[in-house]
Amino acid sequence: MDAPTYTEARFTNAGETTLRVLRDGSERFVPVDPENPDYAAIIAADIAIAAHVPTITADDVRAEAARRILAVHPLWKQMNMQARAVELLRIGEANWTTDEAGQADALDAAFDWIKAVRAASNSMEGSPPADYAEDTNWPDDPA
C-alpha cells in the first residue's frame, strides 16, 4: 500500500491545536501531536502549514456595529437621549424654545448616525469582508 499523500495543511484554530489536512484528496482533521502518525507524516514530508484564517460571520459584523455605537453613545446616554426625545415630543415642536430645537436636531443627528452604522452592518452581513472592522467600511464617528 502506498504512503498517503498530503497536499494541504492549515491550522483550524487560533490555538493551533488541530490541522485541517487533505490526505489523498480527502479532508481530515489531525491533532498537533508528534505521536499522531498523520501529524508526523506531514512534518516528515515538510508540508507547509498555513496559518489559521478565522471565519468571519454576520455576528462578527453586528458586534462591530454595536461596539462602534456604544463607543459613541453608551446605553446610559441612549436612554437619556430617548427620555429627552419623549419630553420634547410632549412639549410639541410648535412650543420648543431655540435651545430645545437645537436639542432635537442633535438627537436627530445622533439617531441618523446610528441608522447609518446599522445600514453599513446590514450591507456587510450577507457576505462579510475580511476587513469588516476597518474604519473605511463604517460612517465617520460624529465626535
Q: Provide the residue ranges of all domains of the chain, joining segments of one domain with +.
A: 6-44, 58-137
Average pLDDT, integer, range 60-79: 96
Q: What is the pLDDT of residues 18-69, one digit of tens each?
A: 888 888 888 888 888 989 888 888 888 888 888 777 789 999 999 999 999 9
The angle subtended at Cα 100 by Cα 99 and Cα 106, nearest 5°, is 90
pLDDT of residue 25: 83
Q: What percent of the chain has pLDDT over 90?
A: 59
pLDDT band of residue 1 (cuts 50, 70, 90) is low
Alpha-carbon distance of 131 to 143, in angstroms, equals 23
H-helix or E-strand spanning residue 84:
helix 75-91
Look at residue 73 and tell me whether its pLDDT is greater than 70: yes
Look at residue 94 and tell me whether its pLDDT is greater than 90: yes
Could you tell me how many residues make up the chain? 143
pLDDT of residue 128: 94
Instruction: Work out the mean pLDDT of the chain and round it to a whole number.
Output: 91
Judge residue 107's burial from the number of C-beta atoms within 10 Å of its C-beta, 0-12 exposed, 13-18 middle, 19 or more buried. middle
pTM of the model as a whole = 0.67
